[in-house]
Structure 1
Amino acid sequence: MNKILLILFFIGNILNTTIIRGQNTCPLIPYPQSSSRINETFQLSSRCVIVYTEEFESQAYLLQKELLRYTSIAVSTLPDKATLDSNIVYNVIKLKKDYKFKSEGYSLKMHTKDITITAGQPSGMINGVMSLVQLTRLSTLQNPLVPIECWEIEDSPLYAWRGFMLDEARHFWGMKKVKQILNWMALYKLNRFHWHLTDSQGWRIEIKKYPKLALIGGIGNYGEEYTPAQFYTQEEIKEIVTYALERNIHIIPEIDMPGHASAASKAYPEFSGGGSPKYPGYTFNPGKDSVYTYLTDILKEVDALFPSQVIHLGGDEVHYGNQDWNTNKDIQDLMKHEKMKNLKDVKNYFFQRMADSLLLIHNKVAAWDEVADSQLSPEHTIVFFWRQNRPEQLQKSLDRKFNIVLCPRLPMYLDYAQDTLQVHGVDWRKFSYNSYQKVYSFSPQDIPVKYPKNCNILGIQANLWTERIETEDRLDYMLFPRMAALAENAWTKEKNKNINSFNIRLKKQFNLYKKDHIYYSDPFTPKETGEPVR
């Protein structure tokens, strides 16, 4: 009998310890580098006031807006030099500066009567604000009057570049959807939005000097050649850029060249280098000087809209549609004059000239990993490694000391199936699948290359191509919850990552997705959210 009681005692202790550990696990995604539960709660109410130092004024207003959006509770803001009314008892949220926090680092200290967020830079303050917003949403989802659990957190990111790419050339999504995606990127502390705005199927950005690019090039999408033109005006672009920057998200626009240019060729065929029977009008013409003037004019307008000082020029898959270069007189004359041996030399010549144009307007050039074969300046170039079956392209980039963003198709292409249950879109039997677990566990060490000690890996990124995504439901389904897995992989140090802990925290996010009308994929009970066909 005593042995049985002793066994039961030990089992009870184990269960109790497990429960306590579960309660002491911070619910945030991405998981912070250091966190501890405080046995207190904070009551959000209209008697809360956000007190801020001068440099964090815009972050105070951001917190005010986000709390109002998600809880319908209006809190006030006040500069730290102002005086609170001594006749009113306030709960205070303080935004403070401390230079010990580098770049995006922050601390969050919560108690019953006050919360303090401390950071050294606005980017770090935004991360702290978003941690508080997420904790608030998780606590008050059912009732905004429910007290918020208190935590002490000290946090900073693993990678400086934590990116997501959205393809709007194949299918256009519009400002409302893009802002929703930016909201979730901010909540998950993703800080680079790579915006694929041009491709063969559509040109989605207004260029005032060449209006037909949007008016004609914006007609159609993937699979539907003659849908009405859809594109962003420059005023809409400015609004989205401002919205993103308020949330510590830098937008990297992509203007694809010299391939993937069919939409532009429809608008201004005089600048086309032709294509192939399967891909007509696929390229710009590297043999015409007027083409470089044309494209530089475009990039100058793009630069004026995007303050990131990085423009992505694509550079991938040119060989799909450059067969006409073999018979194009301008290009053949160029090859003779420059003593070029092949069409690859032509592409590299074109890219060098366009990179020089970007450098003159103080922009870095970003490009897919084909550019590793070029002679571009490593200091001013960012290579996006996407072909996991071509590790030599990453090795070349490392050896030449390019800045690098890792976004290999496996597992970082989010148009790929999430599991073997998916029946639409990219065939997982042929191309494999990218589960959220694979996104979560991806490591640079998975790629068979030799990393030098001080390699310039800026970070990681996931890409969502939309050839096979026609509706918002399917867009959501392919993006969530893999965005959460991406965020934790990019932010949280390996020693603090745990897939079991992540799964527990991820399940709590599903109610937030529902609240935001996001049609997410549920990997735990797949029947809960069936796969959208389109």
Structure 2
Amino acid sequence: MKITSIIALFLLFNLNIFAKLICPVIPLPNQVEKNNNVFTLNYNTVLTVNNESLEQLANYLQKEIHVRYNKSIPITKKERYYNINLRLNKHKKKDVPIIGAYNLSVTEKEIVIESNNSEGIFNGIQTLLQLINSGKKTGNIVEIEGWEIVDTPLYQWRGFMLDESRHFFGTKKVKQILDWMAYYKLNKFHWHLTDQHGWRIDIKNYPKLSRIGGIGNYHDELAKAKYYTQQEILEIVNYAKDRFIEIIPEIDMPGHASAANKAYPEYSGGGSKSHPEYTFNPGKDSVYTYLTNILREVDVLFPSQKIHIGGDEVHYGNERWSDLVDVKQLMKREKLKDLKEVENYFFKRIADSLLRLDNKILAWDEVANADVPANETILFWWRHNRPEQLKIALARGMAIVMCPRYPMYFDYMQDSLQVYGPDYKKFTLNSVENVYKFSQDNYGIEIPKINNILGIQANLWTERIRTENRLDYMLFPRLAALAESAWTAKNNKDFISFSDRIKKDFILYEKNGIYYFNYQDRKKTGEPKY
């Protein structure tokens, strides 16, 4: 045998040993120590809490263990020999608790999850569910390996955006995605509900937005209207809240407005040949009343106090603005020298409306230059080829969510053998590994030690995604790679370890009917066309 082959076998053997010592959790906890204990989950196990505020979380854990593992664990006030304890610890007034951080200890006698905040307890529960999944199962018992875990998130914003304007997927699918986000400790669901191809949220003051604007999708402009009723919105928001996920709706403006303008053409600012009726008219006062009324209803439905107003790619369809009498009068009255200043005027007025609703202003990185209050704005940096937008936001002190197209656009190809989607040779290849290796330091931008980067987010646009199978294929397991990039410290990350830990989730995907991309065996799951 050649020496190189011997070395390769040696490395493989040692990597396998290393993998077995790694905690089988995604995202990988930041401080982990394995002990020699084994906790036996059996009919004697009980679940206890030290604070009444944790009873709902105890009920959640009880139900998840029952549904996932067919084990019925009673909640009691008296501890037994085998206890799962949820403990909310008090902190001193001077301390600032790290939201989401938790400690987890697995010994022979008990499992303890403790934190000084409920979100931390919930994250510890997700870690425990993964440890149970990896445990040795014999008959009616599960043997859970002993671990001492001290875990803290890298970022407070760990997000995923789903575009449902171009193709609509519905309540059941959104809830499934929220379940997996929770499992991976992702906590922000950015919901792109309006765009050119469909308006997907019912607005009672303007019913034609959903009834007419909801007609069509990216591939069929006459498809039956699909949208979420306000009751369905509230149901999904509450479902997410139970999983400590905040939902941020996006109502795109002043561009990407074709679906809205189909319903109420009197507010249109026109468009271009390739993007007809693409904008709202920034010169009409009635437009601001109309949009503010919409935002008021959206504010009632979403308690996050955050509404994303888009603000991107306005130049694709604002060529008619120069000819509109309303815009000409606006420019003269406000002394605006060009259409970019008209655009920024629009942002300022809408920002004022959001602030009166006590909402943060969320927008894509085109808004970095706009006259909006920096301390009330969260900027989403998506154009990795426009680093100056990130620099401007950093200099202004804006809060920032990093979601650069490379590697955070999940509609982009993830493998060189993939056939459908934006050509990776022209754009980028957003592989599982590239998502995993994301770092805010990868873009040649000097980021100060004290900065306002809240976190990271992946975006899934659905021009080329018509079916749930295609959606799953593009989302899983990149969602898991995203989670580890958002949670785990850079020096604790290891893609080989991740690739070993993700194998157990492949089995869970199959049980959940998720048509995932198996990047370790590409022939196992073929690429769906739609």
How many Å apart are 1:55 and its aligned residue?
2.0
Mean alpha-carbon deviation: is it higher for 191-200 or for 150-159?
150-159
Counterparts of residues 181-220 of structure 1 (less than 5 Å): 181-220=177-216
Does 2:59 match 1:68? no
Q: Give me the whole-angstrom Cα distance separating, in 1, the residues matched to 2:455 and 2:480.
A: 16
Give, as a single letter, the amino acid of the residue that structure 2 aligns with 1:92: N
How many Å apart are 1:15 and its aligned residue?
9.0
Instruction: Report the equivalent of 1:432.
Output: 428
Give, as a single letter, the amino acid of the residue that structure 2 aligns with 1:155: D
How many Å apart are 1:143 and its aligned residue?
6.9
Instruction: Report the equivalent of 1:157.
Output: 153
Q: Give me the whole-angstrom Cα distance separating, in 2, the residues matched to 1:507 and 1:140.
A: 16
Instruction: Report the equivalent of 2:3.
Output: none
User: What is the SS of the residue equivalent to 2:178?
Assistant: helix
Q: 4+ residue runs of structure 1 moved beyond 6 angstroms?
A: 11-17, 140-144
C-alpha distance after superposition, 1:236-261 (max 9, x if no partner): 11111111111111111000000000
Q: Give me the whole-angstrom Cα distance separating, in 1, the residues matched to 2:120 and 2:327.
A: 50
Give, as a single letter, the amino acid of the residue that structure 2 aligns with 1:35: V
Give, as a single letter, the amino acid of the residue that structure 2 aligns with 1:39: N
Q: Give me the whole-angstrom Cα distance separating, in 2, the residues matched to 1:144 and 1:179.
A: 30
How many Å apart are 1:447 and its aligned residue?
1.6
Instruction: Report the equivalent of 1:249.
Output: 245
Instruction: Report the equivalent of 2:261.
Output: 265
Instruction: Report the equivalent of 2:162.
Output: 166
Change over 3 Å in CA distance of 1:144–1:137 after alignment to 2: farther
Instruction: Report the equivalent of 1:91.
Output: 82
- In the alignment, is the contact (CA less than 8 A) between 2:33 and 2:149 conserved in 1? yes
Give, as a single letter, the amino acid of the residue that structure 2 aligns with 1:318: V
Q: Give me the whole-angstrom Cα distance separating, in 1, the residues matched to 2:220 and 2:16.
A: 54
- In the alignment, is the contact (CA less than 8 A) between 1:382 and 1:405 conserved in 2? yes
Counterparts of residues 94-243 of structure 1 (less than 5 Å): 94-99=85-90, 102-139=98-135, 145-243=141-239
Q: Give me the whole-angstrom Cα distance separating, in 1, the residues matched to 2:239 and 2:42.
A: 26
Instruction: Report the equivalent of 1:3.
Output: none
- In the alignment, is the contact (CA less than 8 A) between 1:162 and 1:461 conserved in 2? yes
Q: Give me the whole-angstrom Cα distance separating, in 1, the residues matched to 2:335 and 2:89.
A: 58
Which residue among 56, 59, 82 is the counterpart of 2:57?
A: 59
Mean alpha-carbon deviation: is it higher for 314-323 or for 142-151?
142-151
Give, as a single letter, the amino acid of the residue that structure 1 aligns with 2:465: I
Q: Give me the whole-angstrom Cα distance separating, in 2, the residues matched to 1:231 and 1:484.
A: 28
Change over 3 Å in CA distance of 1:36–1:345 after alignment to 2: same
Instruction: Report the equivalent of 1:448.
Output: 444
Change over 3 Å in CA distance of 1:143–1:504 after alignment to 2: farther
Q: Give me the whole-angstrom Cα distance separating, in 2, the residues matched to 1:183 and 1:418.
A: 23
How many Å apart are 1:16 and its aligned residue?
8.4
Change over 3 Å in CA distance of 1:46–1:262 after alignment to 2: farther
How many Å apart are 1:508 and its aligned residue?
2.3
How many Å apart are 1:151 and its aligned residue?
1.7
- In the alignment, is the contact (CA less than 8 A) between 1:195 and 1:251 conserved in 2? yes
How many Å apart are 1:281 and its aligned residue?
1.2
Using structure 2 for the length normalisation, give the TM-score: 0.94
- In the alignment, is the contact (CA less than 8 A) between 2:99 and 2:156 conserved in 1? no
Change over 3 Å in CA distance of 1:99–1:21 after alignment to 2: farther
Q: Give me the whole-angstrom Cα distance separating, in 1, the residues matched to 2:301 and 2:371.
A: 28
Mean alpha-carbon deviation: is it higher for 53-62 or for 403-412?
53-62
- In the alignment, is the contact (CA less than 8 A) between 2:88 and 2:118 conserved in 1? no
User: What is the SS of the residue equivalent to 1:295?
Assistant: helix
User: What is the SS of the residue equivalent to 1:136?
Assistant: helix
How many Å apart are 1:451 and its aligned residue?
1.8
Change over 3 Å in CA distance of 1:281–1:33 after alignment to 2: same
Does 2:34 match 1:37? yes
Give, as a single letter, the amino acid of the residue that structure 2 aligns with 1:97: L
Change over 3 Å in CA distance of 1:530–1:328 after alignment to 2: same
Q: Give me the whole-angstrom Cα distance separating, in 2, the residues matched to 1:61 and 1:511.
A: 26
Using structure 1 for the length normalisation, give the TM-score: 0.93
How many Å apart are 1:311 and its aligned residue?
0.5
Q: Give me the whole-angstrom Cα distance separating, in 2, the residues matched to 1:363 and 1:309.
A: 4
Q: How many residues align?
A: 518
Q: Give me the whole-angstrom Cα distance separating, in 1, the residues matched to 2:269 and 2:13.
A: 70
Counterparts of residues 372-391 of structure 1 (less than 5 Å): 372-391=368-387
Change over 3 Å in CA distance of 1:73–1:347 after alignment to 2: same
Instruction: Report the equivalent of 2:460.
Output: 464
User: What is the SS of the residue equivalent to 2:122?
Assistant: helix
- In the alignment, is the contact (CA less than 8 A) between 1:415 and 1:466 conserved in 2? yes
User: What is the SS of the residue equivalent to 1:429?
Assistant: coil
How many Å apart are 1:263 and its aligned residue?
0.4
Change over 3 Å in CA distance of 1:44–1:518 after alignment to 2: same
Change over 3 Å in CA distance of 1:300–1:150 after alignment to 2: same
Does 2:298 match 1:307? no
The CA RMSD over aligned residues, in Å, is: 2.0
Give, as a single letter, the amino acid of the residue that structure 2 aligns with 1:366: L
Instruction: Report the equivalent of 2:360.
Output: 364
Instruction: Report the equivalent of 2:504.
Output: 508
- In the alignment, is the contact (CA less than 8 A) between 2:48 and 2:78 conserved in 1? no
Give, as a single letter, the amino acid of the residue that structure 1 aligns with 2:491: K
Instruction: Report the equivalent of 1:6.
Output: none
Q: Give me the whole-angstrom Cα distance separating, in 2, the residues matched to 1:14 and 1:461.
A: 34
- In the alignment, is the contact (CA less than 8 A) between 1:141 and 1:512 conserved in 2? no
How many Å apart are 1:12 and its aligned residue?
12
Instruction: Report the equivalent of 1:281.
Output: 277
Q: Give me the whole-angstrom Cα distance separating, in 1, the residues matched to 2:11 and 2:271.
A: 68
- In the alignment, is the contact (CA less than 8 A) between 1:462 and 1:486 conserved in 2? yes
Could you list the runs of 5+ residues in structure 1 that have no partner in the other structure? 1-10
Could you list the runs of 5+ residues in structure 2 that have no partner in the other structure? 1-7, 92-96
- In the alignment, is the contact (CA less than 8 A) between 1:71 and 1:140 conserved in 2? no
Does 2:486 match 1:495? no
How many Å apart are 1:500 and its aligned residue?
1.4
How many Å apart are 1:44 and its aligned residue?
2.6
Give, as a single letter, the amino acid of the residue that structure 2 aligns with 1:30: P
How many Å apart are 1:533 and its aligned residue?
0.8
User: What is the SS of the residue equivalent to 1:508?
Assistant: helix
Q: Give me the whole-angstrom Cα distance separating, in 2, the residues matched to 1:205 and 1:68.
A: 34
How many Å apart are 1:411 and its aligned residue?
0.6
Mean alpha-carbon deviation: is it higher for 212-221 or for 133-142?
133-142
Instruction: Report the equivalent of 1:8.
Output: none
How many Å apart are 1:65 and its aligned residue?
1.7
- In the alignment, is the contact (CA less than 8 A) between 1:138 and 1:512 conserved in 2? no
Which residue among 311, 321, 325 is the counterpart of 1:329?
A: 325
How many Å apart are 1:18 and its aligned residue?
5.8
- In the alignment, is the contact (CA less than 8 A) between 1:71 and 1:144 conserved in 2? no
Instruction: Report the equivalent of 2:24.
Output: 27
